[in-house]
Amino acid sequence: MDVILSMPWPLRPEAEKAFLMRCRELAEQGEERVLIRCDETPHPSTRVLTLLLNIAHLAPYGPPQWRVIDAQENLLEALRLTGLDHWFKNGTDEEAVA
């Protein structure tokens, strides 16, 4: 079963920490498919990319098959440019963020 999490927006320290803790719990439980919905995220701010990088660092605990869904093109492009597309694949593309 897929787990869908919505990226908190706006990112505030408390919400960011709670979101990362939830992701850590899911990774430690071995959830294979986690969909991170980014429909409320208007732009790829440094905080958004840092949060996604911190989630990518959870990979030793869980599989790197998590997906970013409902993201705007500028966030998807930022994932490609930073190399995070290797960890967060688009929900419609099995090979890379598209």
Q: Is 50 left (phi over 0), alpha (psi -120 to 50) or beta?
A: alpha
Residue 44 located in a structural domain: yes
95 occurs within a structural domain: no
Query: Could you tell me if residue 48 is inside a domain?
Result: yes
**Which domain does 39 fall in, by range?**
3-90
Number of domains, the chain? 1
Return d(Cα 25, Cα 31) in angstroms, integer: 9
Q: Does the residue 96 lie in any domain?
A: no
Cα separation, 51 vs 41, in Å, equals 12
Each residue's pLDDT, cut to its tens digit, for the chain (98 residues) gives: 789 999 999 999 999 999 999 999 998 888 888 999 999 999 899 999 999 999 988 876 655 678 899 999 999 999 999 988 888 866 555 544 43
Q: What is the CATH number of the domain that holds 60?
A: 3.30.750.24
Strand order through the sheet with 3-6: 3-6, 34-37, 67-69, 89-90
User: Is residue 45 in a domain?
Assistant: yes
* Contact present, 57 and 88 (Cβ < 8 Å): no
